[in-house]
Amino acid sequence: MTTHVLVIGGGQNSEHEVSLASAAAVSAALRMGDHTVSTVTIDRDGFWRADGIPPCTTPAESLGLALRLIAEADVVFPAVHGALGEDGALAALAALSGARVVGSDLRAGAIGMDKWTTKLVADAVGIRTARGRLVAAHDIGDVEFEGEVVVKPVSAGSSYGVSLVTEAEQLREALRTAARFDNRILVEEVVRAREIDVAVLREAGGVRWAAPPLEIHAPGLFDTATKYDGSARFTVPADLTAAETSALQRAAIAMFDALGCDGVARMDFFLTEDGPVLNEVNTMPGLTAASQVPRMFAAAGVDYTELVARLVAGARVPGVMNSTVGVVGS
């Protein structure tokens, strides 16, 4: 039986173009399988645009018309990264509509998008994070920090607004840059270590498993430019010992479970001599065939088309739990 999937792309944030690329790749992959695909794009100004939606005067009017598309679909695939997408906003819309949706629900999306709250969750389950502090945008003038630090918006993706500060006089400008993306800013100590990503997938039957880890090789800070200009290299599987791989995968599954994630999520770590240090969590990571997550699952023998199909097969109405104890392996 053919499954009708509505793929949502775009969004009202700095990751708009990245989300369009993910949505286009997902749509193409689904059309190669046993799926009927419809698409809708959320413009930067909040208007929902698709075939069948006439020109509207307000975003709310366009959303009202788009609800018909959600109602007609068997599964909603919100390939929208960042605020008003990955943060649980679209999962909440799907929940209110009673639609099956790919990915995490409102709670997991909102917590995973909030880097400060994610640190608190990680600490509660025994996973280390970098030492840091939370700064309000209106307190920028009073902030002092010794040594090298990384300054980042609390809720933003693709490393937008992230700066490496090596000298005290750079701090104020870094804080201002981060404040362009969020009124809450995270200032963290620099962790000098290998950067390792781990992707976790929840299958339709409820089992969670972690793909082979991927190592990022970047000439400096893995910032927005480095992510998209081709200067970074990826090694997957990462050159790790069995013990290192196990520690990273178990930490990734522990965070996946603690946040209540669904679908697929990417956990970004620093690997130090004392073990993994969590950097951040992505509950709707980049999903082009060249993105980190598909690369990791390809290393486990799950190609891109199969990965996207598995995500659709595992879709459910947000809030309805049906999970099994997670395992490492495919």
Does residue 320 sit within a domain?
Answer: no
Instruction: Assess contact for 227 and 159: CB atoms under 8 A.
Output: yes
How many structural domains does the chain have?
Answer: 3
Q: What is the pLDDT of residues 107-124, one digit of tens each?
A: 999 999 999 999 999 999
Domain co-membership, 287 together with 224: yes
CA distance 98 to 24: 25
What is the residue-level pLDDT of the chain in tens, covering all 330 positions? 799 999 999 999 888 999 999 999 999 999 998 899 999 999 999 999 999 899 999 999 999 999 999 999 999 999 999 899 999 999 999 999 999 999 999 999 999 999 999 999 999 999 999 999 998 888 877 777 777 899 999 987 667 789 899 888 888 899 999 998 888 999 999 999 999 999 999 999 999 999 999 999 976 555 555 554 556 789 999 999 999 999 999 999 999 999 999 999 999 999 999 999 999 999 999 999 999 999 999 999 999 999 999 999 999 988 655 444 344 444
CATH no. for residue 78? 3.40.50.20
**75 and 118 housed in the same domain:** no
- Phi, psi angles (nearest 5°) of residue 73: -85, 150
pLDDT score for 319: 66
The enclosing domain of 240 has a CATH number of 3.30.470.20
Residue 232 has a pLDDT of 75
- For the chain, what's the residue count? 330
3-state secondary structure of 117: helix
34 and 84 inside one domain = yes
Q: Does the bond joining 276 to the residue before it have cis omega, within 30 degrees of 0?
A: no
Residue 256 lies in a domain: yes
Give percent helix, percent strand, percent coil of the chain, each to the nearest 5.
35, 25, 40
Q: 316 - beta bridge partners?
A: 101
> Is 293 a domain residue?
yes
* Cβ neighbours of residue 17 closer than 8 Å, sequence gap 6 or more: none
Q: Are residues 121 and 137 in the same domain?
A: no
Q: 41 and 176: one domain?
A: no
Query: Do 254 and 159 share a structural domain?
Result: no
Tokens coding 37: 């695909």
> Could you tell me if 123 and 236 lie in one domain?
yes
Backbone angles phi, psi at 32, to 5 degrees: -75, -15
CATH code of the domain covering residue 162: 3.30.1490.20
- How many angstroms separate the CA atoms of 264 and 283, rounded? 7
| Structural domain includes residue 324 | no
Q: How far is CA 104 from CA 159, 171, 194, 299, 328, in A?
A: 21, 35, 28, 24, 20
- Are residues 273 and 156 part of one domain? no
Q: Do 224 and 259 belong to one domain? A: yes
Q: Can you say whether the dihedral through the CA atoms of 139, 145, 192, 126 is positive or negative?
A: negative
Q: SS3 for 248-307, per residue?
A: HHHHHHHHHHHHCCCCEEEEEEEEECCEEEEEEEECCCCCCCCCHHHHHHHHCCCCHHHH
DSSP 38-83: EEEEE-TTS-EE-TT----SSHHHHHHHHHHHHHH-SEEEE---ST
* Domain boundary, last residue among 158, 189, 220: 189
Q: Is residue 203 situated within a structural domain? A: yes
- Domain co-membership, 136 together with 205: no
Judgement on whether residues 31 and 95 belong to the same structural domain of the protein: yes
Residue 326 lies in a domain: no
Query: Is 327 part of any domain?
Result: no
Residues spanned by the domain of 97: 3-102
Provide the sign of the torsion angle of the four alpha carbons 111, 113, 114, 119, taken in this order.
positive
Distance, CA of 122 to CA of 254 (rounded, Å): 9
**Residue 301 in domain:** yes
Instruction: Identify whether residues 210 and 184 lie together within a single domain.
Output: no
Domain-terminating residue out of 141, 157, 189: 189
Backbone φ, ψ for residue 252 (5° rounding): -65, -45
Query: Cβ(153)–Cβ(161) under 8 Å?
Result: yes
Integer Cα distance of 194 and 217 in angstroms? 8
Q: Which of 211, 228, 216, 106 is nearest to 160 (CA)?
A: 228
